[in-house]
């Protein structure tokens, strides 16, 4: 008869592992992208596609999970 709504704290706790995983991917993707640019510069732009995709996708997942 009565439905209880989850509190915002419960929803945050449920999303904790997703936030940790997406945050880790975002930070590691940023470091890999920086190291690839420093090592090869922009002379080999196709080498940057993978790290850039990982970085942008993880940032998207992180923002979506927070929202």
Residue range 27-58, pLDDT digits in tens: 888 898 888 888 888 888 888 888 888 888 88
Its pTM stands at: 0.65
Q: How many CA atoms lie within 13 A of 38 on its CB side?
A: 6
Q: Is the pLDDT of residue 7 over 80?
A: no
> What is the C-alpha to C-alpha distance for residues 31 and 29, in angstroms, rounded to an integer?
5
What's the pLDDT score for residue 12? 61
Q: Higher model confidence: residue 34 or residue 7?
A: 34
Q: Is the pLDDT of residue 64 over 60?
A: yes
Average pLDDT of span 19-23: 83
Question: In 10 A of CB 54, how many CB atoms?
Answer: 17
Q: Where are the domains of the chain?
A: 16-66
């Amino acid at each position: 008869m009565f439905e209880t709504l989850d509190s915002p704290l419960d929803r945050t706790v449920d999303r904790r592992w997703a936030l940790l995983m997406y945050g880790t991917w975002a930070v590691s993707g940023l470091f890999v992208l920086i190291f690839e640019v420093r090592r090869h510069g922009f002379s080999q732009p196709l080498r940057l596609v993978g790290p850039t995709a990982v970085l942008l996708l993880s940032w998207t997942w992180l923002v979506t999970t927070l929202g």
